[in-house]
Amino acid sequence: MKEIYVINSRGEREPFSAKKVYRGIRKSGGGKELAKQITKIIQKEAFPGIRTCEIAKRIGKFLFKKSPREAIKFNLKEGMLKLGPAGFLFENYIGEIFSDLGYKVKLNLHLQGASSARYEIDFLAKKPKTFYPHNQTFGVGVYLGECKYHHRAGGRVDLGVTLMNYARYLDLKKPSMKSIIVTNTKFTTQAIKYSEYQGVLLLGWKHPKKRGLEILIEKRNLYPITILPSLDLEFKDIFVKAGKILVKDILKISPQKFSKKYKIPLWKLNQLIKEAEILLG
């Protein structure tokens, strides 16, 4: 078979990889035979210059016909990209994650450093006891958190961001305070090396290896509402204002009361609840 080049999320050409397609389906929970079937179909349909985002859409379409739950899980990366357009929704979502982990969280603070400069802080997370999320020790104390949201999968947190983050941390740090950067995409190699050297924690897509943000989300069922296929963008802000950022929050509402209060059609609300039930089992 002649090698086909596709366009990845960063706009770069790369060889089409059937292995990546197969692994992506398996990671979302799809069975081996189903993964093989869909991979074969994608291989036949792939053409030079097709974008990887289009490949992902096609995978999701075929997957949904056979296994709806895995299809919704497969949509996690896209769902994370919809936590915009501004970064505040992503910050709120990360706040929800740390709260679920048992931290007391404060968002969007303005703190004064030793130099008298004032800084805008995305979040502070405090917990008096040691916590071990998916075998990674966040530890005891206060976490000075910075959230870096990207609306495109190709976005990266680079060295410049980590340099500025650490400079701010040095001006603000107190005993037992640590710094953490959280992103919905990835970190560059330089950013990782520098942060590891300075003791700054990083949490993002596939980082740390085998303990990334996506693993934490899946293990604790902390899926954002934007992962649900039937969520229209016009209703996203309504759920956010109502404090319903996680999929599991939707299962706690009264459909009739919520529909009446926020003017969301009951059939649409029931559709979202059904998808939430499918995802969370």
Enumerate the H helices of the chain as residue ranges: 18-27, 32-45, 52-66, 68-74, 76-81, 88-100, 159-172, 189-198, 213-219, 233-241, 247-250, 255-262, 266-280
What's the whole-number average pLDDT of the chain?
Answer: 91
Provide the CA 9 distance to its chain's centre, in angstroms.
16
pLDDT-derived band at 281 (thresholds 50, 70, 90) equals: confident
Q: What is the mean pLDDT of residues 9-16?
A: 90
Q: Which of 3-7, 72-76, 99-103, 134-138 is predicted with the least confidence, judged by mean pLDDT?
A: 134-138
Of 48-57, 59-68, 160-169, highest mean pLDDT? 160-169
Tell me whether residue 112 is exposed, middle or buried, using C-beta atoms within 10 angstroms of its C-beta: 0 to 12, 13 to 18, 19 or more.
exposed
**In this model, does residue 140 exceed pLDDT 70?**
no
If one compares 267 and 127, the residue with the highest pLDDT of the two is 267
Task: Name 148's bridge partners.
Answer: 183
**Do 40 and 22 meet the contact criterion of CB atoms below 8 Å apart?**
no
At 203 the three-state DSSP class reads: strand
Q: How far is CA 261 from CA 234, 246, 256, in A?
A: 16, 19, 9
Confidence class for position 158, pLDDT limits 50, 70, 90: very high
Cα 184 from Cα 81, distance rounded (Å): 7
Question: Contact, 276 vs 228, CB < 8 A?
Answer: yes
CA dihedral in degrees (244, 249, 254, 255; nearest 10)? 70
Measured CA to CA, the distance from residue 130 to residue 140 in angstroms comes to: 5
Listed residue (253, 222, 193) closest to 83, CA to CA? 222
**Rounded to whole angstroms, what are the CA distances from 144 to 76, 177, 271?**
26, 7, 38
Structural domains of the chain sorted by starting position, each given as residue range(s) with its CATH number in brackets: 5-67 (no CATH), 81-219 (3.40.1350.10), 225-280 (1.10.150)
pLDDT at 129 over 80: no
Report CA-CA distances (Å) from 11 to 5, 8, 16, 155, 200. Answer: 12, 5, 14, 11, 30
Task: Report CA Rg, the chain.
Answer: 20
